[in-house]
A and B are shown apart, each in its own frame.
Chain A
Amino acid sequence: GAVVSQHPSWVICKSGTSVKIECRSLDFQATTMFWYRQFPKQSLMLMATSNEGSKATYEQGVEKDKFLINHASLTLSTLTVTSAHPEDSSFYICSARVATSNSNQPQHFGDGTRLSIL
């Protein structure tokens, strides 16, 4: 159980294109989803916390107009990289947490999206 599906797994597109990445919890409801960015051989950097039915909370230094997050249902969050440029090329990973008041719960991760902007 606790499967998270992330789509697409990789995308190559031209500079200036907007790219949408989907994150779905397949067998559980997730009031909270998280979006991370990972550079080669580095750790995960939290970009934003996505809350169902409300605005996302962005980490310091992350441009909310650049990285649009929508969490319209308990099983789907989307990240749109708007007007992508080569410096936005990276590995983006989402995770979801089971809807619960228990703070001691793991996050369940998607398989990531490798974004390459030409």
Chain B
Amino acid sequence: SQQGEEDPQALSIQEGENATMNCSYKTSINNLQWYRQNSGRGLVHLILIRSNEREKHSGRLRVTLDTSKKSSSLLITASRAADTASYFCATGSGNTGKLIFGQGTTLQVKP
């Protein structure tokens, strides 16, 4: 079953612009993770934010987490054509390491 929703489902921007994707979830979590998937490939881990953290940065990526609203956002600054991909949030809870994925956002960055 899916944990929640991501919006927008699709996003098209020009190179150099910022891209923001949002993720909502339903249950309590240990962490929330963001992954990128290029077409026809596996997923690449981008960033993990723990439930007691509110913001995390990695290069051009900025992730926020609001556990009171059960939501997270991924901001990609100064986007590049190579950022074109699908982006998924996933929540981890319990001790199994199991992840529940959101529906994903398809990002297209036009050169």
Contact = CB atoms under 8 A, between A and B. Distances in A.
Interface of A: 4, 6, 32, 34, 41-44, 46, 49, 57, 91, 93, 95, 97, 103-112, 114
Interface residues of B, number: 27
Given A43-B101, A44-B101, A104 B92 contact: yes
Contact of A105 (B43, B94, B97, B101): B97
B104 A43 contact: yes
A104 B103 contact: no
Interface of B: 2, 30-31, 33, 35, 40-45, 48, 50, 88, 92, 94-104, 106
A51 B95 CA distance: 13
29 contacts: A4-B42, A34-B98, A42-B103, A42-B104, A43-B88, A43-B104, A44-B43, A44-B88, A44-B101, A46-B100, A49-B97, A49-B98, A57-B96, A91-B40, A93-B42, A97-B97, A103-B30, A103-B97, A104-B48, A104-B92, A105-B48, A106-B45, A107-B33, A107-B97, A109-B45, A110-B42, A111-B42, A112-B42, A114-B40
